[in-house]
Structure 1
Amino acid sequence: MGGTADDELRRVRRWLWIFIVCLVLSGLTAFPLHAESTLLVDAAHRLPTPRPVLDWLQRIHSGITETDRRYPFLAYGTDWLAFAHLVIAGAFWGPLRDPVRNVFVVRWALGACAGIVPLALICGPVRGIPFFWSCVDMSFGAVGAVPLLLVLRGIRRLEVGRTASGAATA
């Protein structure tokens, strides 16, 4: 890909914004779990959903409904999960301002995306999560890594450009 350093910086920032927006949306959706699970189960009943998936979604909804009714304080844990997503999104302010200087945040996030896989493979069976659902969870790590890898590639190009321009002025 050709282009100027300004073009590359715009591309990097565009991908960072996509990642940030997805983190924020992911965080915000952790608050209204009951309403979301109700909509999801209703939609699954209307669509051609495989029986194991439908049964799992219904089980999730029943668990959320019963827990909200009997133990509403447990939802506080997902409130903190939502908050963590929002805080992590805020950590990308540094790379937005200066991606080269703050590349460590992008590398850290790539490590976190990779960490989703062993977490799902270890904790999923321990918690009785069906393997197909662990695969859905693992896909978030893979999907999240894509924009981050594009950002990292762009940052490397920006680093090379800064090094070349620094050598030319020396």
Structure 2
Amino acid sequence: MSDIATAPTGSTTAGPGPTTVTDTALVRRRIRRWLWLFVVCLALSGLTAFPLQSETTLLVRALDATGLSSALPALGDWAVLTRDGVADGFGSHPFLAYGTDWLAFAHLVIAAAFWGPLRDPVRNIWVIRWAMLACGAVIPLALICGPLREIPLFWQFVDMSFGVFGVIPLLIVHRLIRTLEWDQAVRTHHDFARVVPSP
């Protein structure tokens, strides 16, 4: 279904002839759906940082059970290495997990920032633009810090995929918000033209 509807001649939104106006209710619903998808995924990705030790253990078991560790030995070896590293680090120095706790908390705080666009997307479009920049920054961060931390290249691409896939709903939301902005400008101009006659 299109975001555009045609107002019939003689309606309060129409001029002398048929006028194209935006179905703002439909656009707002689509904005909210895409934003909720982004917010839920962002929050879930943050929550997974809490049980990191259990998750790495389950990952190794899942790779072994499905045979992926044999089919993709590099992935299997990396999963075992991360499991052992997390177990050794958290076991010997539990305070290290405090860092990943704050990582999870940061994801939840960032997700909460989208309450503004959910309520008033036009006024808070800057949040969407900021999030798009953050998604783009994921790529240089992975490429710079990945080699410094001895992260395998294939896993750097996994990390970068969060930015690539994350920006897709944001681009859609941004386009929809721009549609609302344009509609508001047109309606404001139309109402002003009706009240203030041309000289």
Question: What is the TM-score with the length of structure 2 in the denominator?
Answer: 0.84
Q: Using CA pairs under 8 Å that are at least 6 residues apart, name the structure with larger relative contact order, 1 or 2.
A: 1
Cα drift, residue 91 of structure 1: 0.4
Correspondence 1:39 to 2:40: no
Correspondence 1:130 to 2:152: yes
Cα drift, residue 27 of structure 1: 1.0
Q: 102, 106, 126: which one pairs with 1:84?
A: 106
Correspondence 1:160 to 2:182: yes
- 1:23-38 to 2 correspondence within 5 Å? 23-38=42-57
Q: Which moved more, 1:108-117 or 1:47-56?
A: 47-56
Q: Distance in 2 between matches of 1:67 and 1:15?
A: 38
Q: Distance in 1 between matches of 2:55 and 2:184?
A: 47
Cα drift, residue 23 of structure 1: 1.0
What SS does structure 2 have at the residue aligned with 1:52? helix
Match for 1:13: what amino acid? R
Q: 71, 74, 77: which one pairs with 2:93?
A: 71
Q: C-alpha deviations, 1:5-42, integer Å up to 9, x for none?
A: 11001100111111110111011110000111111110
Percent of pairs identical after alignment? 55
Q: CA RMSD in A?
A: 0.8
Q: Distance in 1 between matches of 2:67 and 2:173?
A: 37
Q: Distance in 1 between matches of 2:53 and 2:118?
A: 34
Q: Distance in 1 between matches of 2:188 and 2:65?
A: 61
| Alignment correspondent of 2:37 | 18
Which structure has greater strand proportion? 2
Q: Distance in 1 between matches of 2:90 and 2:131?
A: 32
Cα drift, residue 2 of structure 1: 2.9
Match for 2:51: what amino acid? P
Question: What is the TM-score with the length of structure 1 in the denominator?
Answer: 0.98
Higher Cα Rg, which structure: 2
Which structure 1 residue ranges, 4+ long, deviate > 4 Å from structure 2?
none
Which structure has greater helix proportion? 1
Q: C-alpha deviations, 1:77-123, integer Å up to 9, x for none?
A: 00000000000001001000000000000000000000000000000
| Alignment correspondent of 1:139 | 161
